[in-house]
Every structure is written in structure tokens, then in C-alpha cells.
Amino acid sequence: MAETVEKIKLLKSSPDLSTATFQIHDESHTIGNSLRWMIMKNPEVEFCGYSAPHPSENVINIRIQMYDGKSSLDALIVALGELDKVCEAVEDKYIASLQEGKFEQWEERT
Amino acid sequence: MPAQTFDPRRLVGIHAERVTDVSSRDFPGHHPGEDHSWNLAKFKKNLIVKVQRLSRTSVDFDIVGVDASIANAFRRIMIAEVPTVCIEQVYVWDNTSVIVDEILAHRIGLVPLNIDPSLFTMKSDINDTATDRDTAVFKIDVTCERNPKAPKGSIKPEELYINHELLSSHIIWEPVGEQVDIFAARPPAPTNPNIVLAKLRPGQSVNMELHAVKGVGKDHAKFSPVATASYRLLPYIKITKPIPPQHTEKFQRCFSPGVIKIDPRTKEVSVDEEKVRNDSVSREVLRHPEFAGSVELSRVRDYFLFNVESESAYAPERILIESVKVMREKLNNIKAAALALREKSIAGDGDVMMEEA
């Protein structure tokens, strides 16, 4: 590793960031698709799409366009925070279900 | 158990030659006059996560009420990004077996180890100096010899020779530094001692030093903690017209065993709510003209039935927890970078440096 690469780069965008393409380094469909979904849940977002441009490039591009000149970067930050809360909720309920212990335990032959 | 019903919008239609309503459309602006904007409280209210079955090596659990992208993110992380510890470097001092060095090294790398990955740190560069915090050292020193006590006339290799096979149990841990204390409860070893790595004959020997490090499945599949990690959608079968008594058994045979119940007295057919999850949704029932229009097949779009088989040091029930941890780490890294980008755009002249696409 010669140099450290930026995690997020800004590609084509308008000066007020109401439309922008963000290039996220070292991420894949895992983050791309779930982030796109969460950004699209925001009513201030006019459009959101993502792509993994090429298998040999370790990046994804996320395009966000906002209504009313709002900042797409703000929408991205909000969505990241909300996705984290989704993960937390899933984890909490999973652990609760495990501790409740109401599931079948069986002997699997290996 | 009362018959479960679902909002028709949650169903993916399954017809003889096509599927319908595959994608979710619960976005703001899609349905006029309805609010589909993100609402954490509503999400938490509708979210169901339930463990169904657990064994020593596998777990079945349901996640209900999340989008496919979220369920898929967990699945992808379980396969490719939950770290485990595997043998990465093999130093061959001697190998006179019939398996060449590279192949044998590759096989050894694939052996699952019982080292809890949380006790190790990830090496940032594989060529960095190894420390007791990031590398476990193993040795193999096996020589095959004739067995002087072999019964006369025997043709069995296990009787004729000593060490006629190189097994995963021959991978012996060599503690270094503070590892003696850290791994006192569970000394590092392969999870399965009976994996045959090479066959040996008298005079052949293998002498190697092995270095195990922490890594992730996207780098090499040997680091993947799971044998399988997959999900299906819950099948939903709706019987819309009574099935004539002479056809009930044929109707039942169109589905996976146990899915369709027949009332012994009235010969009325119904769906077993407990067992409907086992249905293969084969669409066999749609091939028969006598059942035309009497049944609707579908799957529930946000009802995920996960099956995860652990093949690593993790207990199966821990793998989802680890994958959520990895996901949240990723999100927080990206968020920190996004906040830094916003700082930069405010601190400067209100303009952010743009890369040419």
C-alpha cells in the first residue's frame, strides 16, 4: 500500500451538492444496495441509484439528486445513520429471541 | 393457529410461467397520498426476528419486515466479510509425499481452525513482522514407517504402516509469547481432526511450519466462516375454491410433504401454517387443469427464512451478530468520511473538489 485512498470521492455534482455522485472506495453491492434503499426512503430525494462500475475497480458509485436544492451529502449522512439504527434493531431483536430460547434445539450429525 | 394473511402488496405472485410484483415499491411518491418515508418507530414495530432452530453447526432464523437489500447485505457479509483465522503461509522444510508442495499448502490452508477471531488482530500487510497478537504458528512433522507389529498377510495400510495418512490432527500448535495464557481454555487446533491431507508410504515424510492469520472471505474463500448462508422467502398458498373430494389427494401430492392437510371427515383441504415454510413452491399444482383457478401461489417479499451453517470457530448463532457488527463498522467508517467531506465543503469556499468522472 503506497498511499491511503480517500473513502469517499466526489464525482460529477452541482455546486450546491443538490445533485452529486459519490464514489465510495472498498465497498460493494452489500453497502450500495442497502444504502440506495435507505436514501430512496427519504421524501426529499428525487433520484438515487448506485453502480459497481467494474469488477477490477474496488469502488461503488452512488448518484443522488435532491428536490428543492437540498444537499445530497446531508441525505447520504442521514441515511448512513438510519441504516445503523436498522442494524441495531435487527441485532437487538435477534439477541432477545436467542435469550428467550423458544426454538427447537436439535442434534445435527456431522 | 389462525390462518396467516398478508397485505397483498407484500406478496410476490408465482404463476405457471412468470413471477409478478417482484420488486418492493414502498418508496415515497410511489403510491399517491400514502406516506412511505423512513420511520424508525414503525420499522421497529413491524420488525420480527425469531430463531427457529439451532444445532451445534447450524441455525435457522426468520427476519420479517426488512427490505431485501438489508437481508442480502447480512447474507453477503456472513459469507465474505466476517473474519476468521486460517493458515496463510506454509514453510516447507521437507515434503517427500506424492502431493506437491503448492497443492498440499493449499489443502492445509482450507482446514478450518478453532481459533476465536476476536482474540486476534488483522495484519494490515501480510509481509509485516508476525506477532503473537496476529499470527498462530503450527508445525507438521510426520514420517511414515513400516509397522514392525503388522499382522502377517495383512494388506490394510493402517495395519502395515505407521502414519499412512497425513491428517489435520497432525497440525500441532506451537504457542508463542502470551498465547499460552490467551488460548489456555481452548488450544488452537483444526475443528475436525480427521481430514486427510495426504496419503503416505514408508520413507515419505512431511515437515512444515504453518502461520495462521486473520482474514476475510472476500480475500480467499477459506476465510469464510460459513458453509452456507442463504435465505428464502416464506411461501404463501391461498386456496380460493374448494377442492372436490375425489381430487384432494392429488392436490396434496402437488405440494411438499405436510404442507396440505386433509380433514379426515369432511375431506376439506387446508394449508398447514406451521409447515407451509417447507414448501418448495414447485408450481406442480398449476400444471393440472382440474385445479385451475382454485389456488394462488406466492411468496412474502419481506419474510426472510435464513439458514446459516457455521464451519469455523464461531458458534452458528454468533455469525449474524458478527455480520451486523461488520455492517455497522462499515457504515460508521463511511459516515465519518462523509462528515469529513461536509466539513471540507463548509470550511472551503463552499465548493468541494470534484474528480473528473
Residue B348, pLDDT above cutoff 80: no
> Looking at domain B84-223, which of 3.40.1190.20, 3.30.360.10, 2.40.420.20, 2.170.120.12 is its CATH number?
2.170.120.12
Task: Give the phi and the psi of residue B168 in degrees, each rounded to 5.
Answer: -65, -25
Q: How far apart are CA B11 and CA B21, in angstroms?
A: 7
pTM, rounded to two decimals? 0.92
What is the percent of chain B where pLDDT is above 70? 96
pLDDT for the residue numbered B215: 96
Choose among B352, B340, B337, B345: nearest CA to A12.
Answer: B352
Confidence of residue B4 (pLDDT cuts 50, 70, 90): confident
Residue B138, pLDDT above cutoff 60: yes
What digits encode the pLDDT tens for the residues A61-90?
Answer: 999 999 999 999 999 999 999 999 999 999
What is the percent of chain B where pLDDT is above 90? 93
What digits encode the pLDDT tens for the residues A8-63?
Answer: 999 988 899 999 999 999 999 999 999 999 999 999 999 999 999 999 999 999 99
pLDDT for the residue numbered A18: 95
Residue A2, pLDDT above cutoff 80: no
pLDDT for the residue numbered A40: 96
Confidence of residue B351 (pLDDT cuts 50, 70, 90): low
Reported CATH class of domain B10-23+43-80+227-309: alpha beta
Tell me the domains of chain A and their CATH numbers: 8-100 (3.30.1360.10)
| Across B298-304, average pLDDT | 96
Task: Answer for the pair A23, A61: CB distance below 8 angstroms, yes or no.
Answer: yes
Secondary structure class of B303 (helix, strand, coil): strand
Contacts of B247 (CB under 8 A, 6+ apart): B290, B291
Secondary structure class of B153 (helix, strand, coil): coil
Confidence of residue A1 (pLDDT cuts 50, 70, 90): very low
pLDDT for the residue numbered B346: 79
Q: Give the one of B50, B70, B337 whose C-beta lies nearest to A86's C-beta.
A: B70
Confidence of residue A108 (pLDDT cuts 50, 70, 90): confident
* Centroid of chain to Cα B26: 28
Q: How far apart are CA B53 and CA A35, in angstroms?
A: 31
Residue B2, pLDDT above cutoff 80: no
Confidence of residue B345 (pLDDT cuts 50, 70, 90): confident
Contact A90 B54 (CB under 8 A): no
Choose among B313, B307, B327: nearest CA to B81.
Answer: B327
Contact B52 A103 (CB under 8 A): yes
Residues of B in contact with A63 (CB under 8 A): none
Residue A93, pLDDT above cutoff 90: yes
What would the grid cell of residue B156 be? 490394510
Contacts of B291 (CB under 8 A, 6+ apart): B243, B247, B251, B254, B285
Q: How far apart are CA B212 and CA B210, in angstroms?
A: 7
A52 and chain B: CB distance < 8 Å anywhere? no
| Across B213-228, average pLDDT | 96
Residue B352, pLDDT above cutoff 90: no
Residue B1, pLDDT above cutoff 50: no
Q: Which one is predicted more confidently, B127 or B334?
A: B334
Residue ranges per structural domain of chain B: 10-23+43-80+227-309, 84-223
pLDDT for the residue numbered A12: 87
pLDDT for the residue numbered A29: 96
What digits encode the pLDDT tens for the residues B79-96?
Answer: 999 999 999 999 999 999
Residue B233, pLDDT above cutoff 60: yes
Helix (H) or strand (E) holding B260: strand B260-262
Count chain A–chain B contacts defined by CB atoms under 8 A.
164
Give the chain B residue whose CA is nearest to the CA of A74: B342
Q: Give the one of A7, A9, A43 whose C-beta lies nearest to B333's C-beta.
A: A7
CA distance B36 to chain A (A): 7
Mean pLDDT of chain B: 94
Task: Answer for the pair B58, A105: CB distance below 8 angstroms, yes or no.
Answer: no
Residue B349, pLDDT above cutoff 90: no
Confidence of residue A109 (pLDDT cuts 50, 70, 90): confident
Fill in the DSSP letter of residue B4: P
Residue B46, pLDDT above cutoff 50: yes
Mutate which of B327, B332, B339, B342 to disrupt the A interface (most A C-beta within 10 Å)? B327
pLDDT for the residue numbered B354: 60
Confidence of residue B120 (pLDDT cuts 50, 70, 90): very high
